Structure 1
Amino acid sequence: MIKRENLRKTSICGIINVTPDSFSDGGQFFAIEEALKQARKLIAEGATILDIGGESTRPGSSYVEIEEEIQRVVPVIKAIRQESDVLISVDTWKSQVAEAALKAGAHIVNDITGLMGDEKMAEVVARAGAQVVIMFNPVMARPQHPSSLIFPHFGFNQAFTEEELADFEKMTIEELMEDFFDRALARANQAGIAQENIMLDPGIGFGLTKKENLLLLRDLDKLHQKGYPIFLGVSRKRFVINILEENGFEVNPDTEAGFRNRDIASAHVTSIAARQGVKVVRVHDVASHKMAVEIASAIRLADHAENLDLKQYK
């Protein structure tokens, strides 16, 4: 019997970065009114979730103090909530920021440290009865890996012992993700987070090599076997841009073609993800990803399509 959940189209989560140094929008939506204007646009284009982030996690970014991050995200969440009942996710690994955001009207905590960066995060999520995105964070599991060294430090303390880190270095990326999720899910279970409130994110782009990114995307079906919905963020990730560049496509974001090509390529990945039944894709350009979701979801749900004759072209 097919679960009702598996009959749903992939949902689109639109990104609103209220940071002055975001890798994707360069702080364009730092002001509340601009963020609100962007929220309206994303919702109109088909986003059913908005992900609000007040701290950039791109390579070379800097730590944002808790109070500063709260001041960035909470006014935006409140402004959106005043005029829309759209689902809101807060992109933070800090429990105090999450707690303030949930009180302001957010429904989901998108934790890039997978509950490992702040020991109080799981408790905050459980107490609020909120949903949580637990992301696999290779940067935390392999801090000395060449692909991790360009990223900022995530978490208040070192999440793993030196012995554990040494063991991680011997694992394949699939084994490492499995181990990381087992630990994170144990923490979620201990705190009392309901299983139906958990989504898993394979952490594409965070301290992974090009091959590792591709392997995790290719094998999303294996992640599905853990029994949790998948939340996937690949929009404008560097490895996607790298593939385009290697194959002669324009990728300079200062040109119209280069900027557009990044979203077209990202939408192709979304199409693959939607075809595999990913629950949520986190994107910048909702319009192009909406098209990808509709086509891929129609193919995935072909058995349930109406058997109608197509209209003739005129």
Structure 2
Amino acid sequence: MRYMGIINLTPDSFSDGGKYHSAEDAVAAALALETAGAEVLDLGPQSSRPGFVEIGPDEELSRLMPVLTALRTKTKAQISVDTYHPEVARAALAAGADILNTVRPCEELYRIAQDYKAGLVITHNEGDVKSDPDILARVTNFLVRETEKTSARPLWIDPGLGFGKSRLQNWLLIEGLPKLVSTGIPVLVAASRKSFLPHPKDEWTRRVTGIAIAAGCDMVRVHEIP
């Protein structure tokens, strides 16, 4: 099991928005995560919290590229970029990012990952699915179908905890992680400090991380390395 360390380059992230006042601060934080054990560093130029204000690709690039270009020369870790804008994905991969992490799956992004021979994280995100009586089956079937649309490798599936799901559905997905693992596709879990977790958030993040490890997940995306 590996850790993906989160570096939010946003003023409005639900957890640590506005934490880094310069590219140098963000790079230092990323390197600290690597030292603590993160094998992948995930750069997020746009918040995905509930009610976030969407920004365009130009603003994303202005936040992302100074950090990415500086970090690429200083880290041996893989660099992931969290975006759903094709323009940002292309620029980031061309600048040396290794993995495309998208919370809005689409075939154009899959093709970009393939073209750059980059890794790809496919996240379940179909909008509001709170009325679905079998969320585990829905998420599993969706993710398996999406992986069949791309030859990008390495490839991970992410159940999309917190995206359009009820508190109960999120916990049912955590309980059902062994089913996702049984697909044979590497699973990434991103629950760190999310709103459905009770307080204290970091303690519950560690508990979910333990569940993910026991289930055989390949990677956990976290703000702090346990």
TM-score per shorter chain, which class?
A: over 0.9
**CA-based RMSD:** 1.6
Distance 1:137 1:219 in 2: 17
Quick one: which of 78, 86, 91 aligns to 1:87?
78
Contact 1:20-1:30 within 8 A present in 2 as well: no
Identity %: 38
C-alpha distance in structure 2 between counterparts of 1:30 and 1:178, whole Å = 39
Deviating above 6 A after TM superposition, structure 1's stretches of 4 or more consecutive aligned residues are: none
Q: Equivalent of 2:147, from 182, 185, 208? A: 185
1:82 counterpart letter in structure 2: T
Q: Match of 1:50, as an amino acid?
A: L
Partner of residue 172, structure 1 = 134
- The alignment covers a number of residue pairs equal to 226
Q: Per-residue deviation at 1:240?
A: 1.0
Q: Which structure's residues are more often helix, by fraction?
A: 1
Question: TM-score, normalization: structure 2?
Answer: 0.94
Cα distance in 1 for partners of 2:144, 2:25 equals 40
What is the rounded CA distance, in whole Å, between the counterparts of 1:30 and 1:230 in structure 2?
33
2:52 aligns with: 61
Shift of 1:174: 1.9
Shift of 1:111: 0.8
1:265–1:182 CA distance, 2 compared to 1 (3 A):
closer
C-alpha contact 2:136 2:176 (8 A) present in aligned 1: no
Aligned twin of 1:100: 91
2:149 aligns to what SS in structure 1?
helix
Q: Distance in 1 between matches of 2:132 and 2:156?
A: 27
Q: Hey, what does 2:211 align to over in structure 1?
A: 272
Q: Equivalences for 1:226-245 in 2 at 5 Å?
A: 226-241=183-198, 244=199
Deviation at 1:30, TM superposition (A): 4.6
Gaps of 5+ in 1: 1-9, 148-168, 245-260, 290-314
Give yes or no for contact 1:36–1:80 (8 Å, CA) kept in 2: yes
Structure with max Cα Rg: 1
Deviations 1:79-133 (A, max 9, x none): 11111121100001112111111111110011112x23xx421110111111100
TM-score (norm 1): 0.69
- Which structure has greater strand proportion? 2
Contact 1:18 1:31 in 2 (8 A): no
Question: Does the Cα contact within 8 Å between 1:173 and 1:212 map onto a contact in 2?
Answer: yes
Gaps of 5+ in 2: none
Matched ranges for 1:35-184 at <5 A: 35-113=26-104, 115-116=105-106, 119-139=107-127, 142=128, 172-184=134-146
Cα deviations across residues 125-181 of structure 1 (Å, max 9, x unaligned)?
111111100011142xx3xx5x6xxxxxxxxxxxxxxxxxxxxx6652123213322
Whether contact under 8 Å (2:9, 2:17) holds in the other structure is no
